[in-house]
């Protein structure tokens, strides 16, 4: 099975930049999107053979997630069931016969770390949510998790020590999540590969210089790790400040 995840930074904008062709070329079983920045009814986007699931933020033009699936889920859940965390459209869960698929757009801690305290509350709640799912069946979770876990995961770690996405607190939360029973699919296959990034600032020609961060992930329950066939970062695909990431699994 092929899974794709992409923070599109505005789905209407990326639809004007060849999204339909990119979607078709991937030929994925599941195509997950983050930061769609849509409200219900603003975009009628359909692909033959796929069912779409949307989680819109209450605030217009902000956040939001979507999943296009070739396979009919047993059930669909929007959010984590926690009111304080569910107004921004950040989580969708598909229950499939043999696994859960979760797409997530993790809150950014913001400039000046203004939202770091909230981010820590979110991290704890999301980890508990995933562990609850994992107790029932294996989990595949993907999306923009807004953290570069290790120094290898961004171009300039020394100058970003207290930048949102590379604080000790955020990195520790990712470590805790992985240690609780999850595998980073990309690092599972490529533990030492440098220069592999999925997000670049629009400033200072960052993408041209590959001065990026790897903040988009596919994590899988540890018991699925041996089923990972390939993990890819498609840095040749443009249209957003993020690029798509992919995992192929023998499921």
Give the active site residues. Answer: 105, 144
What CA dihedral angle connects 123, 128, 131 and 136, to 10 degrees? -140
List of E strands, the chain: 2-7, 30-34, 51-55, 65-69, 75-78, 91-95, 100-105, 139-144, 182-184, 199-200, 212-213, 216-221, 228-233, 245-249
Residue 241 has a CB neighbour count (10 Å cut-off) of 17
Determine contact, residues 217/245, Cβ cutoff 8 Å. Answer: yes
Residue 119 has a CB neighbour count (10 Å cut-off) of 24
d(Cα 174, Cα 34) in Å, to the nearest integer? 19
d(Cα 78, Cα 177) in Å, to the nearest integer? 21
Is the dihedral angle over the CA atoms 123, 245, 9, 207 positive or is it negative? positive
Determine contact, residues 197/234, Cβ cutoff 8 Å. Answer: no
- The DSSP element (H or E) to which 121 belongs, if any, is helix 116-134
Residue 88 has a CB neighbour count (10 Å cut-off) of 19
Residue 50 has a CB neighbour count (10 Å cut-off) of 17
């Amino acid at each position: 099975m092929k899974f794709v995840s992409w923070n599109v930074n505005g789905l209407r904008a990326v639809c004007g930049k060849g999204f339909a062709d990119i979607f078709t070329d991937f030929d994925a079983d599941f195509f997950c999107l983050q930061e769609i920045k849509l409200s219900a009814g603003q975009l009628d986007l359909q692909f033959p053979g796929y069912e779409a699931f949307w989680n819109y933020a209450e605030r217009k033009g902000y956040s939001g997630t979507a999943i296009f699936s070739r396979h009919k889920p047993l059930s669909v859940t929007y959010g984590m069931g926690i009111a304080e965390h569910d107004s921004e459209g950040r989580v969708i869960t598909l229950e499939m016969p043999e696994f859960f698929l979760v797409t997530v757009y993790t809150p950014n801690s913001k400039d000046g770390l203004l939202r770091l305290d909230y981010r820590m509350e979110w991290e704890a709640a999301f980890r508990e949510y995933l562990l609850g799912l994992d107790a029932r069946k294996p989990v595949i979770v993907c999306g923009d998790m807004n953290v570069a876990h290790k120094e290898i995961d961004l171009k300039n770690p020394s100058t970003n020590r207290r930048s949102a996405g590379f604080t000790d607190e955020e990195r520790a939360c990712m470590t805790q999540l992985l240690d609780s029973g999850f595998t980073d699919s990309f690092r599972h296959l490529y533990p030492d590969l440098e220069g592999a990034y999925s997000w670049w600032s629009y400033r200072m020609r960052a993408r041209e210089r590959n001065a990026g961060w790897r903040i988009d992930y596919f994590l899988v329950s540890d018991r699925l790790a041996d089923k990972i066939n390939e993990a890819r970062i498609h840095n040749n695909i443009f249209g957003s400040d993020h690029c798509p990431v992919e995992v192929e699994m023998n499921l």
